[in-house]
């Protein structure tokens, strides 16, 4: 076919496809993944129960952090490390454990409140210590040199983030780092922006009328808000644009990596 015969995509169509393939390189529905009915049942459960149900099929969904994000996180952190012990907060089936395994030489730990997700992580990472706990009340003090949290921030209300970050701060040794990849919001004129807003509004309505709530919001975790909460928890925060993972149509990076360092006490 001659190039002039190839149908040209509009900017909006290109942006939509780019956003979906960058943010979610796997399709929502596949032969190994959950059915629409299963996803609906999960979304009508609590977060914990929803992930228990999704666990056997989670690695075949787009919700597991994509390999590109994991690789870029390892690339940046390998220039900062090496590290001793590592903690994956909200580890799920273990995407962050894969990052920690490549960077930490003194053992890796994953924490999650879903027993189903932890069971999958246990079979994939038999060398890891796995702890069932709520990340809003992390049961660690000064045990880790590196913490990561991937793909889970949307499950915390903005009012819960300070408690989450204070717990991670407490879990780290002085000088320790929390690494947090964050999708940058798409431009206001993009289809992706309106799709995310529509998703959040749907969840808001769902959580107003159905108990228990399923907390998952995209628009609450802007870079300035997350940076402020990290700073208030006591971290010194650095932002790194992961430009290898692409740019939005307005030129901004699609992903940031926040490196939040717990200061070393000097008294």
Ligand X SMILES: C[S@@+](CC[C@H](N)C(=O)[O-])C[C@H]1O[C@@H](n2cnc3c(N)ncnc32)[C@H](O)[C@@H]1O
In this structure, the strands spanning 236-241 and 255-261 are antiparallel
Contact pick of 92, 176, 183, 186 for ligand X (by CB under 6 A): 92
CB 128 within 8 A of CB 108: yes
Q: How far apart are CA 210 and CA 83, in angstroms?
A: 44
Cα separation of the two ends of the chain = 72
Contact pick of 33, 86, 96, 253 for ligand X (by CB under 6 A): 96
The contact mask relative to ligand X for 229-258 (x = CB under 6 A, - = no) is ------------------------------
Q: Phi first, then psi: what are they for 96, rounded to 5°?
A: -75, -25
* Cβ distance to ligand X smaller for residue 55 or 192: 55
Contact pick of 134, 166, 200, 239 for ligand X (by CB under 6 A): 134
Q: Does 144 help bind ligand X (rule: CB under 6 A)?
A: no
Q: How far apart are CA 180 and CA 259, in angstroms?
A: 7
Contact pick of 18, 47, 103, 245 for ligand X (by CB under 6 A): 47
Closest CB to ligand X belongs to which residue?
Answer: 92
Contact pick of 95, 104, 203, 221 for ligand X (by CB under 6 A): 95
Q: Tell me the two tokens of residue 79.
A: 């220039």
* Cβ distance to ligand X smaller for residue 15 or 167: 167
Instruction: Note if the bond before 15 is cis, omega within 30 degrees.
Output: no
The contact mask relative to ligand X for 72-91 (x = CB under 6 A, - = no) is ------------------xx
Q: Does 109 help bind ligand X (rule: CB under 6 A)?
A: no
- Nearest of 215, 96, 87 to residue 158 by alpha carbon: 215
Q: Does 218 help bind ligand X (rule: CB under 6 A)?
A: no
Contact pick of 151, 162, 234, 252 for ligand X (by CB under 6 A): 151
Task: Count CA atoms closer than 13 A to 99's CA, side-chain side.
Answer: 34
Q: Which of residues 165-204 bind ligand X (CB under 6 A)?
A: none
Q: How far apart are CA 36 and CA 28, in angstroms?
A: 9
* Cβ distance to ligand X smaller for residue 15 or 178: 178
Q: Does 150 help bind ligand X (rule: CB under 6 A)?
A: yes
Helix H or strand E segment including 123: helix 115-124
Q: How far apart are CA 233 and CA 82, in angstroms?
A: 24
Q: Tell me the two tokens of residue 171.
A: 């879990």
User: Which range in 130-138, 183-191, 235-243, 254-262 contacts ligand X by CB under 6 A?
Assistant: 130-138
Contact pick of 19, 63, 72, 74 for ligand X (by CB under 6 A): 63
* Cβ distance to ligand X smaller for residue 21 or 249: 21
Torsion sign across C-alpha atoms 157, 192, 206, 28? negative
What is the contact surface with ligand X in residues (CB under 6 A)? 47, 51, 63-65, 90-92, 95-96, 112-114, 117, 134-136, 150-152, 155
């Amino acid at each position: 076919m001659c190039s002039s015969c190839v149908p040209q995509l509009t900017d909006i169509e290109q942006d939509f496809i780019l956003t979906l393939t960058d943010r979610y390189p796997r399709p929502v529905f596949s032969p190994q993944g959950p059915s629409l009915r299963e996803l609906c049942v999960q979304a009508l459960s609590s977060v914990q129960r929803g992930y228990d149900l999704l666990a056997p099929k989670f690695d075949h969904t787009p919700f597991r952090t994509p390999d590109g994000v994991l690789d870029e996180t390892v690339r940046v952190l390998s220039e900062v490390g090496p590290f001793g012990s590592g903690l994956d907060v909200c580890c799920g089936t273990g995407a962050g454990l894969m990052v920690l395994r490549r960077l930490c030489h003194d053992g890796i730990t994953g924490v999650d409140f879903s027993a189903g997700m932890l069971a999958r992580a246990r079979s994939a990472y038999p060398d890891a210590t796995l702890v069932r706990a709520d990340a809003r009340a992390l049961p660690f003090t000064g045990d880790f040199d590196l913490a990561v949290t991937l793909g889970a921030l949307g499950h915390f209300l903005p009012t819960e983030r300070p408690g989450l970050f204070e717990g991670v701060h407490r879990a780290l040794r002085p000088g320790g780092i929390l690494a947090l990849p964050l999708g940058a919001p798409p431009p206001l004129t993009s289809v992706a922006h309106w799709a995310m807003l529509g998703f959040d509004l749907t969840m808001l309505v769902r959580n107003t009328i159905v108990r228990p709530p399923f907390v998952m919001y995209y628009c609450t975790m802007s870079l300035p808000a997350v940076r402020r909460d990290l700073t208030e928890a006591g971290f010194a925060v650095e932002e790194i644009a992961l430009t290898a993972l692409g740019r939005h149509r307005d030129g901004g990076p699609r992903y940031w990596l926040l490196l939040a360092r717990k200061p070393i006490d000097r008294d």
